[in-house]
Amino acid sequence: MSLLIRAAAVTDLPELLAWNAAMAWETERKRLDPAVLERGIRGVFEQPRRGFYLVAEREGTAVGSLLVTYEWSDWRCGDFWWIQSVYVALAARRGGVFRALYAEVAQRAAAAGAAGLRLYVETANQHAQATYEGLGMQRCHYFMYEALLPSRT
Protein backbone atom coordinates (compact mmCIF):
# COMPACT_ATOMS: atom_id res chain seq x y z
CA MET A 1 0.00 0.00 0.00
CA SER A 2 1.55 3.25 -1.12
CA LEU A 3 1.65 6.43 0.90
CA LEU A 4 0.66 9.87 -0.28
CA ILE A 5 2.50 12.73 1.44
CA ARG A 6 0.78 16.08 1.16
CA ALA A 7 0.71 19.51 2.74
CA ALA A 8 -1.76 19.63 5.59
CA ALA A 9 -4.82 21.84 5.38
CA VAL A 10 -7.03 23.37 8.05
CA THR A 11 -9.45 20.52 7.35
CA ASP A 12 -6.83 18.22 8.93
CA LEU A 13 -7.21 20.04 12.23
CA PRO A 14 -9.12 17.22 14.02
CA GLU A 15 -6.34 14.70 13.28
CA LEU A 16 -3.57 17.18 14.09
CA LEU A 17 -5.23 18.02 17.41
CA ALA A 18 -5.72 14.36 18.32
CA TRP A 19 -2.23 13.33 17.27
CA ASN A 20 -0.46 16.20 19.04
CA ALA A 21 -2.37 15.43 22.22
CA ALA A 22 -1.55 11.72 21.89
CA MET A 23 2.12 12.42 21.24
CA ALA A 24 2.37 14.67 24.32
CA TRP A 25 0.80 11.94 26.42
CA GLU A 26 2.90 9.10 24.97
CA THR A 27 6.21 10.94 25.25
CA GLU A 28 5.83 13.11 28.34
CA ARG A 29 2.63 11.94 30.04
CA LYS A 30 1.50 15.51 29.54
CA ARG A 31 -2.10 16.57 28.99
CA LEU A 32 -2.29 19.55 26.64
CA ASP A 33 -4.95 22.23 26.92
CA PRO A 34 -7.08 21.58 23.80
CA ALA A 35 -7.89 25.28 23.27
CA VAL A 36 -4.23 26.30 23.44
CA LEU A 37 -3.23 23.41 21.19
CA GLU A 38 -5.84 24.35 18.61
CA ARG A 39 -4.67 27.98 18.60
CA GLY A 40 -1.09 26.77 18.23
CA ILE A 41 -1.87 24.56 15.25
CA ARG A 42 -4.03 27.21 13.63
CA GLY A 43 -1.16 29.67 14.12
CA VAL A 44 0.93 27.68 11.67
CA PHE A 45 -1.77 27.86 9.01
CA GLU A 46 -2.38 31.55 9.68
CA GLN A 47 1.30 32.52 9.47
CA PRO A 48 3.21 30.23 7.08
CA ARG A 49 6.53 31.80 8.10
CA ARG A 50 6.18 29.67 11.23
CA GLY A 51 6.34 26.43 9.26
CA PHE A 52 4.06 23.83 7.77
CA TYR A 53 2.51 20.46 8.47
CA LEU A 54 2.73 17.41 6.25
CA VAL A 55 0.22 14.56 6.37
CA ALA A 56 0.75 10.97 5.26
CA GLU A 57 -2.25 9.18 3.79
CA ARG A 58 -2.72 5.52 3.02
CA GLU A 59 -5.73 4.62 0.88
CA GLY A 60 -7.28 8.03 1.54
CA THR A 61 -6.93 7.83 5.32
CA ALA A 62 -4.56 10.11 7.22
CA VAL A 63 -2.10 7.95 9.17
CA GLY A 64 0.57 10.39 10.34
CA SER A 65 1.90 13.91 10.32
CA LEU A 66 4.73 16.16 11.29
CA LEU A 67 5.45 19.86 11.65
CA VAL A 68 8.40 21.67 10.11
CA THR A 69 9.61 24.94 11.65
CA TYR A 70 12.58 27.10 10.73
CA GLU A 71 15.71 28.19 12.59
CA TRP A 72 18.02 30.75 11.01
CA SER A 73 21.73 29.87 11.22
CA ASP A 74 24.06 32.83 10.97
CA TRP A 75 26.99 30.40 10.81
CA ARG A 76 25.64 28.83 7.64
CA CYS A 77 23.60 31.74 6.31
CA GLY A 78 20.61 29.49 5.90
CA ASP A 79 17.65 27.89 7.62
CA PHE A 80 17.68 24.60 9.45
CA TRP A 81 14.35 22.87 9.09
CA TRP A 82 13.24 21.41 12.42
CA ILE A 83 11.04 18.32 12.31
CA GLN A 84 8.61 18.45 15.22
CA SER A 85 5.31 17.03 16.43
CA VAL A 86 5.85 13.73 14.64
CA TYR A 87 3.00 11.29 15.07
CA VAL A 88 2.10 8.06 13.33
CA ALA A 89 -1.19 6.34 14.15
CA LEU A 90 -0.68 3.16 16.13
CA ALA A 91 -2.01 0.87 13.39
CA ALA A 92 0.36 2.44 10.83
CA ARG A 93 3.58 2.26 12.83
CA ARG A 94 6.51 0.29 11.41
CA GLY A 95 4.97 0.75 7.96
CA GLY A 96 7.31 3.36 6.49
CA VAL A 97 5.17 6.39 7.35
CA PHE A 98 7.88 8.41 9.05
CA ARG A 99 10.42 7.40 6.40
CA ALA A 100 8.09 8.76 3.68
CA LEU A 101 7.40 11.96 5.61
CA TYR A 102 11.13 12.44 6.21
CA ALA A 103 11.93 11.90 2.52
CA GLU A 104 9.40 14.58 1.57
CA VAL A 105 10.83 17.04 4.09
CA ALA A 106 14.37 16.35 2.86
CA GLN A 107 13.34 16.89 -0.76
CA ARG A 108 11.51 20.14 0.03
CA ALA A 109 14.38 21.40 2.20
CA ALA A 110 16.95 20.68 -0.49
CA ALA A 111 14.80 22.43 -3.12
CA ALA A 112 14.46 25.46 -0.82
CA GLY A 113 18.21 25.66 -0.18
CA ALA A 114 17.95 24.84 3.54
CA ALA A 115 21.16 24.37 5.53
CA GLY A 116 19.99 21.06 6.99
CA LEU A 117 17.41 19.14 8.99
CA ARG A 118 17.19 18.85 12.74
CA LEU A 119 14.95 17.22 15.30
CA TYR A 120 15.02 16.36 18.93
CA VAL A 121 14.27 13.00 20.47
CA GLU A 122 13.77 11.75 23.98
CA THR A 123 16.99 10.43 25.47
CA ALA A 124 15.35 7.09 26.37
CA ASN A 125 13.69 6.52 22.98
CA GLN A 126 16.28 4.17 21.49
CA HIS A 127 13.90 2.99 18.76
CA ALA A 128 13.38 6.50 17.40
CA GLN A 129 17.11 7.24 17.64
CA ALA A 130 17.88 4.14 15.58
CA THR A 131 15.29 5.21 13.01
CA TYR A 132 16.84 8.66 12.65
CA GLU A 133 20.36 7.26 12.43
CA GLY A 134 19.13 4.80 9.80
CA LEU A 135 18.01 7.78 7.72
CA GLY A 136 21.51 9.25 7.88
CA MET A 137 20.97 11.73 10.71
CA GLN A 138 23.72 12.10 13.28
CA ARG A 139 23.52 12.79 16.99
CA CYS A 140 24.66 16.32 17.79
CA HIS A 141 26.97 17.26 20.61
CA TYR A 142 24.54 19.73 22.21
CA PHE A 143 22.12 19.17 25.06
CA MET A 144 18.80 20.98 24.96
CA TYR A 145 17.82 23.31 27.79
CA GLU A 146 14.64 25.27 28.24
CA ALA A 147 13.10 27.84 30.54
CA LEU A 148 9.35 28.08 30.35
CA LEU A 149 7.94 31.58 30.65
CA PRO A 150 4.66 32.50 32.32
CA SER A 151 1.70 31.49 30.18
CA ARG A 152 0.04 34.12 28.04
CA THR A 153 -3.26 32.23 27.89
- Confidence check: pLDDT of 153 > 60: no
Asked whether the beta carbons of 102 and 83 are under 8 A apart, the reply is: yes
Mean local confidence (pLDDT), 61-69? 97
Lowest mean pLDDT, pick from 6-10, 55-59, 122-126, 132-136: 122-126
List pLDDT tens digits, range 93-112. 999 999 999 999 999 999 99
Task: HSE, CB side, 13 Å, CA atoms: give it for residue 34.
Answer: 6
Mean local confidence (pLDDT), 119-134? 88
In degrees and rounded to multiples of 5, residue 63 shows phi and psi of -125, -5
The pTM of this model reads: 0.91
Cβ count within 10 A of residue 3: 20
Mean pLDDT of the chain: 94
- Confidence check: pLDDT of 78 > 90: yes
Query: What is the structure's pLDDT at 54?
Result: 98
Query: What is the structure's pLDDT at 141?
Result: 86
